[in-house]
Amino acid sequence: MRGDVNRPRHIAIIMDGNGRWAKKRGLPRTAGHAVGAETFRTIATHCKNIGIEYLTVFAFSTENWKRSDEEVATIMTLLEKYLLEAIDSMAENKIQLRFFGDLTPLSAKLRTLCQETQGISETYESELQVNICLNYGGRDEILNAVRACASDCLEGKIKPEEIDHECFTKHLYSADIPDPDLVIRPSGEVRVSNFLLWQSAYAEYFYTDTLWPDFTASELNHIINEFSKRQRRFGGI
Ligand code: IPE
Ligand code: IPE
Ligand code: MG
C-alpha cells in the first residue's frame, strides 16, 4: 500500500461535532467528548492497519479555552485517561504519539503525561505516528516559527534573506514530517478553524456531515477512495 501516489501518507482530521452529537441525544456535551475519544482510538488503529504513516488530529484549539470550565476540565480529564491507557499499549500497538501545541497552560499532570508519552514513543519503531494537536492554533504555530527565525537572525546564525521554506518549517511542530495529503472535517462545518494553516497549502479537503462520534473506519475508507480519484496538480498542469 505504501508508496502508491494515490494513497495518502498523512491524514489530518478536525475531530468536530461532539457537542452536537450529545445534544441530539439529550446528553451533556461532555458525553459527546467521551464517545469522540473512543472514535479517535478506532480511527487511529484503522489508520495503522491500512498503512497510513501519519495521522494528525485536532483535539483542542487555542480558542477552545473560551468554553465553560466544566467542559474544558472534562476534555482534559479524557485526555489524561487516554494517555494513561495509551502508555501501556503504545509499543505493542506500534503507534507513536506526539503533541503539537503549546503545552505550558495545561495542568502539570497532563503536561507530564504528554512528555512521558512522547519520550516512550521515541524508544521504539512504530508503524503510525499520531500527532495530537493540543492547545494548538495554526496562527500561533506560524508566529512561533517567525519568532524563532528572528532570534536566529539576531544571533547571527542566519541572514533574513536566507530564511526559506526549509529553515522556516524546521520551527513548526510538524518539522520532519510530510505535509498532510488530506484534511477531513466532520460535522458539516466547512471551515479551517485555524488548523495546520501552513502545512495544508496543498492538502485535499473533505467535508462530511457525520458528527465525529459517528465517524467510522468505513467512512474513512470511502474518503481515501475519493482522494485517490482526485488529481493533484500542485500548481502544475
Ligand atoms: C470538537 O467537538 C471537540 C472540541 C472542539 C474540543 P465540539 O465540542 O466542537 O462539538 P460541536 O461542534 O459543538 O458539536
Ligand atoms: C475546531 O473545532 C477545533 C477542534 C475540533 C479541536 P471548533 O468547534 O472549535 O471550531 P469552530 O468554533 O466551529 O470554528
Ligand atoms: Mg465544534
Question: Is residue 23 lining ligand 1, measured as CB closer than 6 Å?
Answer: no
The answer to whether residue 122 is domain-embedded is yes
Instruction: Please give the positions annotated as active site.
Output: 16, 64
CATH of the domain at 31: 3.40.1180.10
Q: What is the pLDDT of residue 113?
A: 96
The answer to whether residue 71 is domain-embedded is yes
User: Which residue CA neighbors atom 3 of ligand 1 most closely?
Assistant: 16
Reported as a single tens digit per residue, the pLDDT across 68-104 is 999 999 999 999 999 999 988 888 889 999 999 999 9
Question: Which residues in the chain belong to E strands, given as ranges?
Answer: 10-14, 54-61, 95-100, 128-136, 182-185, 204-207
> Of 57, 112, 58, 52, which is closest to residue 87 (Cα–Cα)?
112
Mean pLDDT calculated for residue range 37-63: 97
Name the residue with higher pLDDT: 123 or 139.
139
- Using a 6 Å CB cutoff, which residues line ligand 2? 14-16, 58-61, 64, 189, 191, 193
Residues of the domain holding 53: 10-137+179-228
Q: 19 alpha carbon to ligand 2 midpoint, in Å?
A: 10
- CB count in 10 Å sphere of residue 158: 15
User: Which residue CA neighbors atom 14 of ligand 2 most closely?
Assistant: 193
The answer to whether residue 66 is domain-embedded is yes
| Helix, coil or strand: residue 230 | coil
Name the residue with higher pLDDT: 91 or 132.
132
Reported as a single tens digit per residue, the pLDDT across 185-221 is 999 999 999 999 999 999 999 999 999 999 999 999 9
The answer to whether residue 63 is domain-embedded is yes
Q: Which atom of ligand 1 is nearest to the CA of 29?
A: 8
The answer to whether residue 205 is domain-embedded is yes
Across the beta sheet with 182-185, the strand order is 95-100, 128-136, 54-61, 10-14, 182-185, 204-207
Percentage of the chain exceeding pLDDT 70: 98
Domain total for the chain?
1
The answer to whether residue 107 is domain-embedded is yes
Please report, for residues 8, 53, 184, 224, the alpha-carbon distance to residue 229 in angstroms, rounded to integers and kept in the order given.
12, 20, 16, 9
Question: Is residue 60 lining ligand 1, measured as CB closer than 6 Å?
Answer: yes
Q: Give the global pTM.
A: 0.97
The answer to whether residue 170 is domain-embedded is no
Alpha-carbon torsion, ordered 171, 133, 118, 150, to 10 deg: 20
Q: What DSSP string runs through 17-37?
A: -HHHHHHHTT--HHHHHHHHH
Residue 25 region, left (φ>0) first, then alpha (ψ -120 to 50), else beta?
alpha
Q: How confident is the model at residue 5 (pLDDT cuts 50, 70, 90)?
A: low
Q: Name the residue type at position 84.
A: L
The answer to whether residue 234 is domain-embedded is no
pLDDT at 23 over 80: yes
